[in-house]
């Protein structure tokens, strides 16, 4: 086969890394070895909603995979010993102290524990090359761990006590605790090859910032943005409607700690304004979550309500301004402040008049209902500055942009948070934009490009302002891929008793996704495998008695109620999905009690398999996206070998 000039130029660049036939041959052999290993385990989680402790536990136990592997590796151990070993792997620092205190002979305890952990590391590392494992080992102990993993204890050449000598040396040097903790971390890194977060890290629970810290330290993660994530991303970009929504939700769930302590955002200007403006208003119209109402002192609850009402009115005004500025959003029916009749104490929603539960709106000007008062303007100015200047928040948001996207295609499967906007007849729905109508993949890609410009674009960018505004539409717009409902009814839930106004009709996608043909069409549109791929989403909590499996196993919804606020509806505490080399396993999790009880009483999260889809044959790396990239590298190296042998490119030394 002839070499083109452009190919020769490329191969010359490649030859810098592989300057000889021998170097090329060695790399081809290495890459082929990787291709023929079983596919690594992928772990899918969704809708964490700030529940850090439950998230961290499922992250460490890999949805029950760690315990299952322990049972396979140590069938000779008592159940209590296997449970203790699992807890040690999940919480090594905390559990180690308890186990040491219970040990009669500390040296014997260290010896047994180190041997078990080394055996288990070997068990979970069998899918990887030694080179891959080496990169996951702690730098200071890498050589020692490799000796323990691969040194043969029954070697006839005099190394029979080699492993024992190493373990004895670790104990005598006082390094056993540190070594055990590092081995547990190595296990969790090797148990999961890649972690997929299918949206909604923030809101409800108080640990969204902690979840992001954990994800930033994870060895391999990608994120598909959820509407709650995009809301915080928009707030960090300076979208004032997003900022108001973030604060309102944190207030509703008594989660101001995340803002003030986690991100160092001072709410003092808002608090001062709220307590002054609504001093004589009990603000019972601002309904906090039931779970926090039972736990709070009446005075604290009233203050929280005042803050919540103050920011919600600011929110409705800012949203009205956005809707007016963007007629293409088609959201005029959500501009309700202008429909309030203060004398009659009513509001008109979708052409029908409803009685308001309260009509105390001291900052509302009926002649200009969406104009902020001077004090409200000053409050939101200070809040925007605080969000923009929060170093930790901006670091987290940049991480979300670096590791995240609106959708992802992995090994023929498609991940996105909520929906593909559809019409009643099952077609992809057009969305009107200032750049023309968009639908399907084009709409997804357009949204992602625009919000990236909104956050990263320079002030001179003509699309920056539009991008910043789009964050809010993606949070709650009807045809947003992240929302999936006809309208958001925040105002109605606060101020109208008639529950008919609280309903949020779903996009036709949810009915159409039961049809395998529709799932195949979406897979093909977004670049997945229409014949064998599946769609994985979150966003909608799976209610009691409903199934997370749709379209005959071609689509999964894995939001089962991580957030405690949803668990009465779901009856469980979340779903998660694991794909190993043998197929998919969908698990339902029972509520997590506490880290303390998990450590002290060895209470694992009870996970029940609710669906399992096995493949006809075991999957290997060569069957994956990464494998196809490796195969292309092998093909390029083979061409370089030909070029060397034909003298087209000279070999180095």
**H-state helical runs in 357-501:** 374-389, 391-403, 440-456, 464-476, 490-495
Classify residue 544: in a domain, yes or no: no
Give residue 65's pLDDT. 84
C-alpha 124/C-alpha 189 separation (Å) is: 9
Is 374 inside any structural domain?
yes
The helix-helix angle for 176-191 and 106-124 (nearest 10°) equals 20
d(CA 430, CA 470): 16
Mean pLDDT, residues 251-275 taken together: 93
Residue at 400 is within a domain = no
Report the relative pairing of strands 413-416 and 404-405 from DSSP bridges. unpaired
Q: What's the pLDDT score for residue 299?
A: 62
Task: Verify that 11 and 108 share a domain, yes or no.
Answer: no
- Residue 587 pairs in a beta bridge with 576, 609
Per-residue model confidence (pLDDT) at position 164: 85
Out of 59-73, 136-150, 551-565, 589-603, pick the least confident.
589-603
* DSSP-assigned letters across all residues of 428-463: BPPB--TT--B-HHHHHHHHHHHHHHHHHS-TT-TT
Please report the pLDDT score of residue 558 as a whole number: 86
Is the same domain home to 257 and 383? yes
Compute the distance between CA of residue 86 and CA of residue 79 in angstroms, rounded to an integer: 11
Same domain assignment for residues 31 and 73 = no
**Is residue 581 assigned to a domain?**
no
Sheet containing 194-197: give its strands across: 404-405, 221-224, 194-197, 42-45, 575-580, 583-589, 607-614
Counted domains in the chain: 3
Task: Give the pLDDT score at 398.
Answer: 98
Do 176 and 235 reside in the same domain of the chain?
Answer: no
486 and 382 in a single domain? The answer is: yes
Residues 139, 287 within the same domain? no
Residue 605: count of CB within 10 angstroms of its CB:
21
Q: Do 312 and 458 share a domain, yes or no?
A: yes
User: Lowest mean pLDDT: which of 198-212, 370-384, 407-421, 561-575?
Assistant: 561-575
Q: Average the pLDDT over 443-456 and give the result.
A: 97
The share of the chain scoring above pLDDT 70, in percent, equals 91
Same domain, 103 and 13: no
Does residue 218 form part of some domain?
no
With a CB cutoff of 8 Å and minimum separation 6, the contacts of 164 are 153
Give the per-residue pLDDT at 315. 97
Rounded to 5 degrees, φ, ψ at 277 are: -70, -35
C-alpha distances (whole Å) from 346 to each of 342, 353, 431 are 7, 6, 33
339 pLDDT more than 60:
yes
Q: Look at residue 68 in the predicted model and tell me its pLDDT.
A: 86
Residue 128 and residue 30 share a domain: no
Beta-carbon neighbour count of residue 368 at 10 Å? 10
Provide, for the chain, the percentages of residues in helix, strand and coil under a 3-state DSSP scheme, each rounded to the nearest 5: 55, 10, 35
- Whether 606 maps to a domain, the answer reads no
DSSP code of 341? E
pLDDT beyond 90 at 126 = no
Span 334-342, average pLDDT: 93
The confidence score (pLDDT) of residue 54 equals 85
The pLDDT value given to residue 567: 64
Predicted pLDDT of residue 21: 93
pLDDT tens column, 537-568: 998 877 766 788 889 889 999 876 666 666 66
Say yes or no: 243 and 389 in one domain. Answer: yes
- Residue 649 and residue 39 in contact, taking contact as beta carbons nearer than 8 Å: no
Cβ proximity of 358 and 364 under 8 Å: no
Q: Lowest mean pLDDT of 308-317, 514-523, 558-567, 573-582, name the range.
A: 558-567
Q: Give domain status of residue 573, yes or no.
A: no
Mean pLDDT of 221-229: 96
pLDDT tens figures, 500-536: 999 999 999 999 999 999 999 999 999 999 999 999 9
DSSP for 593-621, written as a single string: --HHHHHHS--PPPEEEEEEEE-SS--BG
Average pLDDT, the chain: 89
Q: What is the dihedral of CA 400, 513, 521, 579, to 10 degrees?
A: 60
Residue 499 lies in a domain: no
Mean pLDDT (whole number) for 618-629: 92
The range of the structural domain enclosing residue 166 comes to 64-191
pLDDT at 617: 82
Q: Do residues 76 and 184 share a domain? A: yes
Residue 59 confidence (pLDDT): 87
Same domain, 242 and 331: yes
CA 467 – CA 483 distance, rounded (Å): 17
């Amino acid at each position: 086969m002839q070499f083109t000039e452009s190919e020769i130029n490329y191969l010359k660049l490649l030859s810098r890394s592989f300057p000889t036939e021998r170097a090329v041959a060695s790399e081809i052999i290495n890459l082929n070895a990787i291709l023929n290993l079983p596919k690594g385990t992928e772990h899918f989680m969704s809708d964490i909603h700030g529940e850090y402790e439950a998230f961290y536990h499922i992250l460490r136990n890999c949805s029950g995979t760690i315990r299952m592997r322990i049972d396979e590796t140590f069938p000779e151990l008592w159940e209590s010993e296997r449970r203790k070993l699992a807890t040690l792997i999940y919480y090594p620092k905390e559990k180690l102290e308890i186990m040491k205190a219970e040990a009669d002979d500390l040296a014997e305890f260290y010896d047994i524990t180190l041997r078990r952990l080394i055996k288990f590391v070997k068990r979970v590392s069998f899918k990887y090359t030694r080179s891959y494992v080496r990169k996951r080992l702690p730098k200071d102990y890498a050589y020692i761990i490799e000796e323990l993993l691969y040194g043969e204890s029954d070697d006839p050449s005099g190394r029979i006590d080699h492993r024992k000598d190493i373990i004895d040396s670790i104990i005598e040097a006082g390094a056993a605790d540190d070594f055990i903790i590092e081995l547990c971390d190595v296990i969790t890194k090797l148990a999961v090859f890649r972690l997929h977060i299918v949206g909604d890290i923030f809101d409800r629970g108080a640990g969204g910032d902690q979840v992001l810290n954990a994800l930033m330290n994870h060895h391999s993660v990608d994120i598909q943005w959820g509407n709650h994530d995009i809301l915080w991303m928009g707030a960090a970009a300076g979208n004032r409607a997003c900022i108001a929504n973030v604060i309102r939700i944190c207030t509703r769930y008594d989660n101001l700690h995340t803002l003030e302590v986690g991100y160092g955002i001072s709410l003092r200007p808002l608090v001062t304004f709220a307590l002054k403006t609504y001093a004589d208003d009990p603000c019972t119209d601002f309904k906090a979550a039931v779970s926090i109402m039972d736990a709070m002192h009446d005075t604290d609850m009233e203050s929280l309500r005042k803050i919540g009402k103050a920011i919600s009115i600011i929110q409705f005004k800012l949203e009205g301004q956005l809707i007016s500025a963007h007629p293409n959003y088609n959201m005029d029916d959500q501009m309700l402040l202008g429909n309030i009749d203060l004398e009659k104490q009513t509001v008109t929603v979708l052409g029908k008049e409803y009685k308001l539960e309260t009509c105390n709106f001291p900052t509302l000007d009926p002649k200009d209902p969406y104009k902020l008062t001077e004090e409200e303007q000053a409050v939101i100015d200070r809040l925007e500055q605080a969000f923009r200047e929060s170093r930790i928040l901006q670091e987290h948001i940049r991480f979300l942009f670096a590791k995240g996207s609106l959708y992802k295609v992995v090994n023929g499967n498609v991940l996105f948070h909520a929906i593909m906007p559809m019409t009643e007849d099952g077609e992809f729905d057009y969305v009107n934009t200032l750049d023309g109508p968009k639908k399907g993949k084009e709409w997804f890609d357009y949204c992602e490009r625009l919000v990236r410009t909104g956050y990263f674009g320079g002030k001179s960018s003509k699309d920056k302002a539009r991008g910043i505004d789009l964050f809010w539409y993606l949070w709650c717009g009807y045809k947003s891929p992240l929302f999936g409902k006809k309208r958001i009814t925040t105002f109605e839930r606060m101020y109208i008793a008639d529950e008919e106004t609280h309903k949020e009709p779903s996009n036709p996608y949810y009915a159409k996704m039961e049809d395998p043909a529709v799932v195949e069409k979406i897979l093909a549109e977004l670049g997945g495998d229409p014949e064998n791929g599946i769609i994985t989403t979150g966003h909608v909590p799976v209610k009691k008695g409903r199934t997370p499996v749709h379209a005959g196993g071609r689509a999964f919804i894995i939001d089962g109620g991580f957030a405690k606020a949803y668990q009465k509806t779901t009856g469980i505490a979340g779903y998660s999905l694991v794909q190993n080399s043998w197929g998919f396993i969908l698990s339902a999790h029972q509520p997590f009690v506490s880290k303390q009880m998990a450590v002290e009483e060895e209470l694992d999260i009870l996970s029940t398999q609710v669906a399992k889809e096995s493949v006809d044959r075991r999957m290997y790396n060569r069957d994956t996206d990464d494998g196809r990239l490796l195969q292309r590298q092998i093909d390029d190296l083979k061409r370089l070998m030909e070029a060397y042998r034909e003298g087209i490119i000279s070999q180095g030394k």
